[in-house]
Amino acid sequence: RAVVEDGDPESAGIASAIERELELARRADLVFAVSPGELDAMTSRGVEQARRLGHAVTAGETTTPFAKRSGLLFVGNLDEDGSPNVDSLAWFSRQVLPHLPASVVLEVVGSCLSVQARGLESERIRLHGRVEDLEAFYSRARLFVAPTRFSAGLPIKVLDAAARGVPVVATQLLERQLGWESGVELLSAPRTDAREFAALVTDVYRDEALWQRLRQAARDRVLRDCSPRRFANDLLSALAAIDRPAPRPPTSESAAS
């Protein structure tokens, strides 16, 4: 279980929940952290046996050119009111979308049992529910948005979008979790600044050169950091370290010889 790196300031008991997770982690022989931030959080709090292990991502790049793409894409499970995904979608629809051109539509993909999320559907927010194959959505979306305001772990939905060649605008929280840099692999805004988030979305949506630059840098980063081979090597290396038997103390006979 990941240690929460940046919790919702309005959630009660977040500090005690983190400590309970850390106490369990300290007893383990090996603990995996999926992001640099979580690894730092663990090791700085006494989880010395923590190792970083991200995700393995395999995906082909979509080739639809900039001019033939339109709209925004959001992917995530929306089954529980108050969850990070529902919170981020609600914030985006109410605070960010009004600052975007009226022609921009947000396509939302993911299981949607949340009453709160379903209430957000409109002419500009299209809820598609659970979809087995997302390739058609990745192929036609011009931009992927990840307005997450509180979460833990590594945002694999961002990695999947980047691997398929869809540029990303996200919150600074996700930028930190990924270890990426705003202006290089993505653009990021503070999780409380809706106008800044909207301005970044508009910049990428209208600027093909910026769109191409972000698209290529993010895809290169995913292919480098999240290759299945690297994942397997990192996993086997970490497991080998704990499987290796400890040296036996010398016996009296061997010491005498």
Query: Please, are residues 221 and 186 in contact by the beta-carbon 8 Å criterion?
Result: no
Q: What percent of the chain has pLDDT over 90?
A: 57
**DSSP label of 29:** S
pLDDT score at 148: 94
pLDDT score at 15: 73
Q: What angle do CA 155, 142, 86 make, to 5 degrees?
A: 40
pLDDT digits (tens, 9 = 90+) for 185-241: 999 999 899 999 999 999 999 999 999 999 999 999 998 888 778 878 878 888 887
The bridge status of strand 143-146 relative to strand 50-52 is unpaired
In degrees rounded to 5, what are phi and psi of residue 186? Answer: -160, 175
pLDDT score at 1: 37
Mean pLDDT estimate for the chain = 87
Model pTM score: 0.79
Q: Which of 2-16, 167-181, 227-241 has the lowest mean pLDDT?
A: 2-16
pLDDT score at 4: 41
What number is the average pLDDT over the span 251-257?
51
3-state secondary structure of 124: coil
> Which has the closest alpha carbon to 38: 29, 27, 47?
47
What number is the average pLDDT over the span 17-29?
84
What number is the average pLDDT over the span 80-106?
96
pLDDT digits (tens, 9 = 90+) for 102-157: 999 999 999 999 999 999 999 999 999 999 999 999 999 999 999 999 877 778 89
8: pLDDT strictly greater than 70: no
DSSP E strands in 81-236: the ranges are 106-109, 125-127, 143-146, 168-171, 187-189
Place of tokens 């995913």: 222
Query: Please, are residues 94 and 75 in contact by the beta-carbon 8 Å criterion?
Result: no
5: pLDDT strictly greater than 60: no
